[in-house]
Amino acid sequence: MIVEKPRSSTAHPNGQAWETIRDAFLGSWDARGALESRTALVDRIVTTTYETLLGPVSGQGVAVLAVGGFGRRELFPFSDVDLLLLVESQPSRELRPALSAYQQRLWDSGLRLSHSVRTVGECTELHDSNIELNISLLDQRFLIGSRPLYEKLLARLPKFVQGERQALRRHLCRLVRGRHAKHHDTIYHLEPNIKEAPGGLRDLHLLLWLDKLHTGEVEAPYGYLEMEPARRFLYPLRCWLHYRAGRDDNLLSFDAQEEIIERPLLPLERPEQWMREYFRHVRAVHSAAARALDTVESQGSSLLAGFRDWRSRLSNADFTVSRERIFFRASQQLENDPEVALRLFQFVARHNLRLAPDTHRRIGQYLPGLVEYFSRGRSPLWPALREMLGLPYASLALRAMHETGVLHAVFPEWRLIDCCVVRDFHHRYTVDEHSLLAVETLEQLKTVREGPRLRFAQLLAEIEDPAPLRFALLFHDIGKGTEEPSHVAGSLVAADRATERIRMPESNREMVRFLIDRHLDLSAAMSGRDLDDPATAAFLAERLGTLERLKHLALLTYADISAVNPTAMSPWRLEQLWRVYLVAYRELTRELETERIEVAPGSPEMEGFLKGLPTRYLRTHTPSEIEAHLELDRRRREIGIAVDIRKQDGVYQLTVLCKDRLFLFASLAGSLSSFGMNILKAEAFTNQQGTILDTFAFSDPARTLELNPTELDRLHQTIERVSLGRVAVKELLKNRPWPETPGKRSRIEPAVSFDNEASATATLVELVAQDRPGLLYDMASAFSEAGCNIEVVLVDTEAHRAIDVFYVTHGSGKLDPSQMDSLRERLRLACLP
Amino acid sequence: MKKIEAIIQPHKLEEVKEALKNIGIDGMTVTEVRGHGRQKGHKEVYRGQEYMVDLLPKVKLEMVVPAGRVDEVVRTLVSSARTGKIGDGKIFLFEVAEAIRIRNDDRGEAAL
């Protein structure tokens, strides 16, 4: 039962009056009426007690003022009663006992008193360490006592406020920032504190106080008056929460959400629906508060302003940067060119700048136009989105898109999770906030320099194109807003629709689909699989397929878990996730040679081509790629060699099919190096017919092929002639310029390791070395010169580090210890810069 | 009464919980912990670099049971947490002087 009780054991003389007010509120849900009635009742208690105890001894020396919420006549049930006892001078020995008795009687009356005793002088000086006192005086109200003393304060207070206006506003903003930080700067808590959290009642008060501190011509420029709908929603909610708990409890807990849906404030069927309405109101308050903070803080110190002016040099043809905020250059820009919206968020993602309030307003005004424009899907949006998602501050841009509504305009699927509450013991945030936070968490890895997170930071650095990964994070939980029994299925449907509309290329779509589909795999393995069991490794390798996918999924899992709540990614989970990653990594590198295709799907021709290739070949290539390789094999059968070079996603891909021979792989690597190409990845396989299928991904740092189209033909012909043994690679490499030797500090010492257990038939050799042009040729040559046959190769580069795995045989068997020793030295020399 | 503390492999948690539930043990405290036993950790090699893995993730279960049920609970723990490999974990038993339910001040086995 909800009853406001006096705090002392003494029977409370006003008990009936409190209950009448409470009953009236629970009947009408008229919060304003309840607060005013409560204020009037407390006014009466405070004044009558004064007349009895303090008035007779204080003379003209004391005035009693209501301040804070009490001063505003907004006394919530069980809230503190803020009183200021204004004194002429420091209380005398005679007055002190009377003041104590007065306060004690008020406590005994059941009031939770929060009082201070101050002189006029103390009220009109800035209290850096207790700025709340200064702020509370903005809502002061005379109750009883010395009117002349109160008028002294009234005479000095406006001048003080005027003089210290800037400082007061600055301190106020500092307090608000601190409070927001305690709540992780987000409104989207599943169990929010409706007073203290961003967008809560304290933010409403911020607007009120800033409006009061404003002296310009515009009335209430910070928008307190526009927040009336939110106020009408939040005030009765807080009243009810306090009555419900029987104390000053502002937490809208899951239990409270279950109950509130049946109350007249907003009767709805499910708490999740109700909470969406709650978040809509709170979002309006938070946006207004954020704009207000922005405005006040932009009027900062001259040093900061100087830095911000320097940043204004970033202005371009579309946007102006002023005081760290982005403005549109022209007023009709969005109407004339809606895609400027995407360029705007690219600008945010590139420069770490926020939108100006005016820019927010303009986007808001033209939002229906943007929704209409993006829904038509006339031009492919992926190139612009990909660029934005690949930039260093993509999460800031996505948040700005969310706040302005542009994210919904581009991806209507996101409406499904707008303020979406999913009741889960571990999750702290709504689904949309969780998704944005996951992107942010991933981005923050870039700043990690040490500790266990560094391993994941290094993985992130190895991802060539982070855009699909970030896109997958945006969509991985969208299914939680659908009726699908499995949210993963719902997320896949939404992602498919979106990627098709924005015309994402198939290779990226495939990665996005994979990441969403398997986004729970590694978490499940962390807690549900025996990581020492070889079956777990095989299971993971089967599910993941390639190292590239594993890296992406490990990072997605890291971000997903970290964004559940601030402590979800404990050191324990971090270690477990890394163990899962290592188990899968080892298996994926180990299985290169051991597992061969025995029975191949498709026609006899296809079977003949596939038989003997590693099983991973089927997993790492799409059916269309396999079909293209088969087509090349047909050409090989006709003329003895098939070479294909094409450019894809900014990187060249070379595929060569021909009969195997000694030094072939090294010769191909050498040919590319002789043209100045930089090999990024390579794979070399042989099928049962003895046909090699070598693929190289390489970049063209000097843009030779792009600027000289004939060079592409020459490279093609050179590869053919080298493959057929008609040209000696050593001759081609004679005039190759040697790269600069890296400095000692940045040099990576070569590391060579052998593993005779990994494969039944070959020795695994792993090499880690400083990357440089020609390195692969030198290493492959070292193998060939030692009489080793390269069975399988997997070459990878991470920044300046080359990580290469070779499966080699010597005379159809594994290497013996003396051969390993000899090869180790050859390889070490080959790896030197 | 005895307090039973069991350190087990993380992937065995669900199985152990289920087995304990089947013999009527529902209340327990579960903590994610890291540690090592006799092996004192081991070296891992990842991309040419060695690093020491000295603390492995484990799960710690704590429960207090009447003295008469200790053997049964321990047997259940052992059979459900065992894989037969190094790292399966350990079980420790402690005497408990008293148990008090905070809500209603129940004492002794009534508080379990």
* Banded model confidence at residue A527, pLDDT cuts 50, 70, 90: confident
Q: What would the two tokens of residue A93 be?
A: 């020995």
What pLDDT, on the 0 to 100 scale, is given for residue A223? 82
Mean pLDDT lowest among A1-10, A57-66, A70-79, A121-130: A1-10
Q: Complex ipTM, two decimals?
A: 0.78
**Is residue A768 within 8 angstroms of chain B, CB to CB?**
yes
Taking residue B2's Cβ as centre, other Cβ atoms within 10 Å add up to 17
- Rounded CA-CA distance A742/A753 in Å is 23
* Banded model confidence at residue A133, pLDDT cuts 50, 70, 90: confident
Mean pLDDT for the stretch of residues A651-673? 87
Write the CA distances from A768 to A296, A779, A828, integer angstroms: 54, 11, 10
3-state SS assignment for residue A567: coil
**Is residue B97 within 8 angstroms of chain A, CB to CB?**
no
Q: Which residues are within 8 A (CB) of A566 and not within 5 positions of it... i.e. 6 or more apart?
A: A184, A428
- Rounded CA-CA distance A454/A440 in Å is 16
What pLDDT, on the 0 to 100 scale, is given for residue A389? 96
Cα torsion for A591, A824, B51, A563, to the nearest 10°? -50
Which residues of B are less than 8 Å from A770 in CB distance?
none
Q: Which residues are within 8 A (CB) of A519 and not within 5 positions of it... i.e. 6 or more apart?
A: A472, A476, A488, A553, A556, A557, A560
Closest residue in A to B10 (Cα) is A527
Strand partners, A753: A766
Q: Looking at residue A695, what DSSP letter applies?
A: E
**Shortest CB distance from B11 goes to which of A528, A751, A767?**
A528
Enumerate domains of chain A plus CATH numbers: 15-163 (3.30.460.10), 183-300 (no CATH), 301-410 (1.10.110.30), 413-594 (no CATH), 604-831 (no CATH)
Which residues of A are less than 8 Å from B34 in CB distance?
571-572, 575
What pLDDT, on the 0 to 100 scale, is given for residue A251? 96
**pLDDT for B11 beyond 70:** yes
Cα torsion for A592, A597, A602, A604, to the nearest 10°? 130
What pLDDT, on the 0 to 100 scale, is given for residue A184? 87
Q: Which of B11, B14, B30 to mutate to test the interface with A (most CBs of A within 10 A)?
A: B11
Q: Are A582 and B44 in contact (CB < 8 Å)?
A: yes
Q: Are B44 and A532 in contact (CB < 8 Å)?
A: no
**Shortest CB distance from A530 goes to which of B34, B45, B83?**
B83
* Banded model confidence at residue A9, pLDDT cuts 50, 70, 90: very low
**pLDDT for A3 beyond 50:** no
Half-sphere exposure of residue A173, counting CA atoms within 13 Å on the CB side? 19
* Banded model confidence at residue A415, pLDDT cuts 50, 70, 90: very high
Interface of A with B in 520-559 (CB under 8 A): 526-532
**pLDDT for A833 beyond 80:** no
What does the pLDDT look like over B36-90, one tens digit per residue?
Answer: 776 566 666 676 566 667 788 899 999 999 999 999 999 999 999 998 888 899 9
**pLDDT for A4 beyond 70:** no
**pLDDT for A367 beyond 90:** yes
Q: What would the two tokens of residue B44 be?
A: 């891992």
Q: What would the two tokens of residue A239 be?
A: 């009243």
Cα torsion for A564, A569, A570, A573, to the nearest 10°? 120
Mean pLDDT lowest among A117-121, A162-166, A271-275, A754-758: A754-758
Mean pLDDT lowest among A190-199, A432-441, A500-509, A542-551: A542-551
| DSSP labels, chain B | -EEEEEEE-GGGHHHHHHHHHHTT----EEEEEEE--TT--EEEEETTEEEEE--EEEEEEEEEE-GGGHHHHHHHHHHHH--SSTT-EEEEEEE----B-TTT--BGGGG-
Q: E strands along A186-324, which residues?
A: 319-322
What does the pLDDT look like over A99-112, one tens digit per residue?
Answer: 899 999 999 888 89
Please state, for a pLDDT cut of 90, what percent of chain A lies above it.
Answer: 49
What does the pLDDT look like over A681-719, one tens digit per residue?
Answer: 788 888 888 888 998 888 888 888 988 889 999 999 999
Q: Which residue has the tokens 């409890």?
A: A249
Given a contact cutoff of 8 angstroms between Cβ atoms, the answer to whether B14 and B87 are in contact is no
* Banded model confidence at residue A746, pLDDT cuts 50, 70, 90: low
- Rounded CA-CA distance A674/A774 in Å is 8
| DSSP labels, A322-347 | ETTEEEESSTTHHHH-TTHHHHHHHH
Closest residue in A to B88 (Cα) is A530
Write the CA distances from A711 to A257, A677, A707, A717, A721, integer angstroms: 69, 12, 9, 10, 15
Q: Which pairing describes strands A325-328 and A354-355: parallel, antiparallel, or unpaired?
A: parallel
Phi, psi of A12 (to 5 degrees): -90, 125
Q: What is the CATH number of domain B2-111?
A: 3.30.70.120
**Shortest CB distance from B10 goes to which of A571, A576, A585?**
A576
**Is residue B41 within 8 angstroms of chain A, CB to CB?**
no
**pLDDT for A646 beyond 60:** yes
Q: Name all contacts of A328-334 with Cβ < 8 Å and 24+ positions apart.
A: A328/A358, A328/A359, A328/A362, A331/A362, A334/A362, A334/A363, A334/A366, A334/A369, A334/A370
**pLDDT for B98 beyond 60:** yes
Q: Are A572 and B49 in contact (CB < 8 Å)?
A: no
From B17's Cα to the closest Cα of chain A, the distance in A is: 13
Taking residue A598's Cβ as centre, other Cβ atoms within 10 Å add up to 10
**Is residue A585 within 8 angstroms of chain B, CB to CB?**
yes
From B60's Cα to the closest Cα of chain A, the distance in A is: 12
Strand partners, A792: A807
**pLDDT for A571 beyond 60:** yes
What pLDDT, on the 0 to 100 scale, is given for residue A150? 95
Taking residue B27's Cβ as centre, other Cβ atoms within 10 Å add up to 10
The number of C-beta contacts closer than 8 angstroms across A and B is: 44
Q: Are B48 and A528 in contact (CB < 8 Å)?
A: no
Phi, psi of A446 (to 5 degrees): -65, -25
What does the pLDDT look like over A33-43, one tens digit per residue?
Answer: 999 999 999 99
**pLDDT for A624 beyond 80:** yes
**pLDDT for A6 beyond 50:** no
Q: Which residue has the tokens 């810069």?
A: A833
Mean pLDDT for the stretch of residues A124-128? 85
Given a contact cutoff of 8 angstroms between Cβ atoms, the answer to whether A62 and A86 are in contact is yes
For residues A70-102, b (16+ Cβ closer than 10 Å) or e, as one string? bbbbbbbbbbbbbbbbbbbeebeeebeebbeeb
**pLDDT for A464 beyond 80:** yes
Who wins on pLDDT, A272 or A477? A477
What pLDDT, on the 0 to 100 scale, is given for residue A462? 83
Closest residue in B to A530 (Cα) is B11
**Is residue A570 within 8 angstroms of chain B, CB to CB?**
yes
The whole model's pTM is what? Answer: 0.73
A678: amino acid identity, one letter: N
Mean pLDDT for the stretch of residues A426-452? 93
Query: What's the start-to-end Cα distance of chain B, in Å?
Result: 9
What pLDDT, on the 0 to 100 scale, is given for residue A507? 84
Rg (CA), chain A: 35
Phi, psi of B58 (to 5 degrees): -135, 175
Q: Which residue has the tokens 């090499």?
A: A767
Closest residue in A to B49 (Cα) is A751
What does the pLDDT look like over A754-792, one tens digit per residue?
Answer: 888 777 778 888 888 887 777 888 888 888 888 888 877
Average pLDDT, chain A: 87
Closest residue in A to B15 (Cα) is A528
Which residues of B are less than 8 Å from A803 in CB distance?
47-48
Which residues of A are less than 8 Å from B57 in CB distance?
572-573, 575-576, 579
Q: Under the phi-then-psi rule, with left for phi > 0, alpha for psi from -120 to 50, and beta for the rest, what region is B61?
A: beta
3-state SS assignment for residue A456: helix
What pLDDT, on the 0 to 100 scale, is given for residue A10? 39
The domain ranges of chain B are: 2-111
Who wins on pLDDT, A419 or A812? A419
Nearest to A18 by CA among A242, A303, A349: A242
Q: What would the two tokens of residue A55 be?
A: 């008035």
Burial of A409 per CB tally in 10 Å (0-12, 13-18, 19+): buried
What does the pLDDT look like over A277-332, one tens digit per residue?
Answer: 999 999 999 989 998 888 888 776 555 665 666 667 788 889 999 878 899 998 88
A399: amino acid identity, one letter: R
Write the CA distances from B20 to A4, A528, B61, B74, integer angstroms: 45, 18, 11, 10
Write the CA distances from A211 to A116, A159, A205, A295, integer angstroms: 25, 17, 10, 12
**pLDDT for A557 beyond 90:** yes
Q: Which residue has the tokens 């109700």?
A: A274
Which residues of A are less than 8 Å from B33 in CB distance?
572
* Banded model confidence at residue A599, pLDDT cuts 50, 70, 90: confident
What does the pLDDT look like over A370-402, one tens digit per residue?
Answer: 999 998 877 899 999 999 999 999 999 999 999
Nearest to B89 by CA among B49, B34, B47: B34
Q: Which of A454, A458, A531, A540 to mutate to test the interface with B (most CBs of B within 10 A)?
A: A531
What pLDDT, on the 0 to 100 scale, is given for residue A2? 40
Given a contact cutoff of 8 angstroms between Cβ atoms, the answer to whether B16 and B82 are in contact is no
Please state, for a pLDDT cut of 70, what percent of chain A lies above it.
Answer: 93
Write the CA distances from A299 to A167, A310, A329, A666, integer angstroms: 11, 16, 22, 64
What pLDDT, on the 0 to 100 scale, is given for residue A218? 63
What does the pLDDT look like over A235-270, one tens digit per residue?
Answer: 999 999 999 999 999 999 999 999 999 998 888 888
Is the four-CA dihedral A481, A484, A486, A488 of positive or negative sign?
Answer: negative
Given a contact cutoff of 8 angstroms between Cβ atoms, the answer to whether A367 and A412 are in contact is no
- Rounded CA-CA distance A794/A687 in Å is 16
Sheet holding A325-328, edge to edge: A319-322, A325-328, A354-355
A474: amino acid identity, one letter: L
Q: Which helix (H) or strand (E) holds A46?
A: helix A31-49
- Rounded CA-CA distance A717/A709 in Å is 13
